[in-house]
Amino acid sequence: MVEMVISFRKLVRDFPSTTYATFSIYRYPAKFIPQIIAYILKNYCKPNMAVFDPFAGYGTVGIVSRLFGCDYELWDLNPMLKVIHDTAVMRPIYVDVNKLIQELKSSNEIFIPKWSNLKYWHPEEFLDILTKVWGYYHSLEDNELKKLLVIPLLKVTRYFSYSDEKIHKLYKSKYAKKKVEDLLKKDWKTLFFTMLFNEIRELLKKIEDYNSLRPKPVKYKIKAGIDTLNTKLDQDVDVLITSPPYLQAQEYIRSTKLELFWLGYSENYIRQLSKKEIPYVNVRKIEVYSKTYEEFRSKIKDDHLLKLYDNYFFAILRAFTSLGENVKSYMFIFVGPAKVRGMPVPIDQIIVEHLKEFGWKHEATLIDRIVSHSMFKVNVNPASGLKENRMETEHLVILRRE
Ligand SMILES: C[S@@+](CC[C@H](N)C(=O)[O-])C[C@H]1O[C@@H](n2cnc3c(N)ncnc32)[C@H](O)[C@@H]1O
């Protein structure tokens, strides 16, 4: 097996940082750094090739593909994919931000999310303003201004809530309660609109920075709110680049629930999405062609963990096997060496062993150390009080069609 330790941040100098431009306009758990995608596109792709990410999350694969003139298709269960992507690839627009804030303040439209827990997450005082600014947003036609406004609105809404915006999971922490308490003692209305103003200005700058990287006109398709396990590609693609969900249960939908409610999704719809998340969704058993999979499976005694382990591998291996049929040359799969109850599971090795049976040759695994992965910064999970298993490296598996 060819393994090489590298640093994508050091190797790829196309961007000044991992959070430059629109590569970081909103927090999303386990987000790719743009350097990884740039590395792959520079070394393995040519302009006009078609790139595909079936677990696209934030949409980094698409946002970087444009810069290299590659067409792309992105899928994710989370509707946030389209929201973030559409803003991140915007052309620069001129907006009189002062005037926009005045319009938001004087709008008479009201939007109330269909959320039974609304008052658990926002104090009543804030709801006055929140329902008004979102009323304005929802009354807009689908245009560039609406795309620009949505991200700052989501950020400010999350701040003016009992959620701990420093943590991905939707979680009411001691810090968050204190934050609201302190806000209520201040002139929070002025603060709300100042923050919104600053967020809009910052986003406009980020959009300009992205455009200074000269994105090319490309063809693209976004499917957000779909279940990858039940979706097929309509046409062949050249390469697949993705990072599948992690084995450690990371609830992506739950992390963005507050956002989804304000965007107008219903409680029932969000619940249905949650149920389709890997590794929670029940997946039909498949034959797993991997000794490593069996070896680690035999060490798990807990029934619940065993079910999660099986479900996880049935889901991702089934997805890669079947989607791989429409991939012409390469698959790049980025995974972390996850742990089950403290036991590290070499997901990358299991993927390689299984896919070898389906005509994929293992070309190399590139190993990078995690530096700016916000998901792993917290050592103790404040929701459970348990120590998080820190991942120290991430593995980029490169598979070539034989
Ligand atoms: C590790 S994240 C991908 C992050 C992405 N690379 C980025 O740059 O943001 C895995 C993604 O898989 C998605 N996911 C989980 N179950 C899914 C399913 N059944 N169908 C489609 N997407 C799913 C999650 O919503 C999450 O966005």
Contact predicate 76/56, CB 8 Å: yes
Indicate which atom in ligand 1 lies nearest the CA of residue 57.
27
Contact predicate 277/245, CB 8 Å: yes
- Binding site membership of 28 for ligand 1 (Cβ less than 6 Å): yes
Close Cβ partners of 205 (under 8 Å, ≥ 6 residues apart): none
> In the predicted model, what is the mean pLDDT of residues 155-169?
89
- The encoded tokens of residue 174 equal 């001691």
Indicate which atom in ligand 1 lies nearest the CA of residue 242.
6
Q: Does residue 379 register a pLDDT over 90?
A: no
Residue minimizing CA distance to atom 4 of ligand 1: 57
Taking the C-alpha atoms of residue 74 and residue 61, their distance in angstroms, rounded to an integer, is: 8
SS3 335: strand
Taking the C-alpha atoms of residue 92 and residue 127, their distance in angstroms, rounded to an integer, is: 31
SS3 76: strand
Q: How confident is the model at residue 106 (pLDDT cuts 50, 70, 90)?
A: very high
- Binding site membership of 260 for ligand 1 (Cβ less than 6 Å): no
Mutating to test ligand 1, I would choose from 31, 72, 77, 274 the residue with most ligand atoms within 8 A of its C-beta, which is 77
Amino acid at 117: N
Q: Does residue 47 register a pLDDT over 50?
A: yes
> In the predicted model, what is the mean pLDDT of residues 183-207?
98
- Binding site membership of 86 for ligand 1 (Cβ less than 6 Å): no
Residue minimizing CA distance to atom 1 of ligand 1: 245
Geometric angle at alpha carbon 200, from 255 and 65, rounded to 5°: 65
Question: What confidence score (pLDDT) does residue 353 get?
Answer: 98
Which tens digits make up the pLDDT trace of 243-257?
999 887 678 999 999
- Binding site membership of 24 for ligand 1 (Cβ less than 6 Å): no
- What percent of the chain is modeled with pLDDT above 70? 94
When the pLDDT of each residue in the chain is averaged and rounded to a whole number, the result is 92
Indicate which atom in ligand 1 lies nearest the CA of residue 32.
8
Q: How confident is the model at residue 275 (pLDDT cuts 50, 70, 90)?
A: very high
- Binding site membership of 241 for ligand 1 (Cβ less than 6 Å): no
> In the predicted model, what is the mean pLDDT of residues 193-197?
98
Domains plus CATH for the chain?
A: 3-80+216-401 (3.40.50.150), 97-212 (no CATH)
Place of tokens 């680690």: 296
Q: Does residue 1 register a pLDDT over 70?
A: no
Cα 296 to ligand 1 centroid, rounded to whole Å: 24
Cα 257 to ligand 1 centroid, rounded to whole Å: 15
Question: What confidence score (pLDDT) does residue 378 get?
Answer: 46
- Binding site membership of 278 for ligand 1 (Cβ less than 6 Å): yes
Question: What confidence score (pLDDT) does residue 341 get?
Answer: 84
DSSP conformational letter for 78: S
Nearest to 64 by CA among 228, 218, 237, 245: 218
Which tens digits make up the pLDDT trace of 80-89?
999 999 999 9
Question: What confidence score (pLDDT) does residue 375 get?
Answer: 44
Cα 57 to ligand 1 centroid, rounded to whole Å: 5
> In the predicted model, what is the mean pLDDT of residues 306-316?
95
Close Cβ partners of 310 (under 8 Å, ≥ 6 residues apart): 285, 297
Query: Exposure string (b/e) for 33-54, b if CB count within 10 Å is 16 or more?
Result: bbbbbbbbbeebbeeebbbbbb
Q: Does residue 382 register a pLDDT over 70?
A: no
Indicate which atom in ligand 1 lies nearest the CA of residue 227.
20
SS3 83: helix
Cα 76 to ligand 1 centroid, rounded to whole Å: 6
- Binding site membership of 57 for ligand 1 (Cβ less than 6 Å): yes
- Binding site membership of 276 for ligand 1 (Cβ less than 6 Å): yes
Which tens digits make up the pLDDT trace of 355-369?
999 999 999 999 998
Cβ neighbour number for residue 226 with a 10 Å cutoff: 18
Contact predicate 345/296, CB 8 Å: yes
Question: What confidence score (pLDDT) does residue 384 get?
Answer: 46
SS3 269: helix
Residue 286: enclosing H or E segment and its boundaries?
none
Question: What confidence score (pLDDT) does residue 337 get?
Answer: 66
Question: What confidence score (pLDDT) does residue 243 get?
Answer: 96
Strand partners, 222: 74
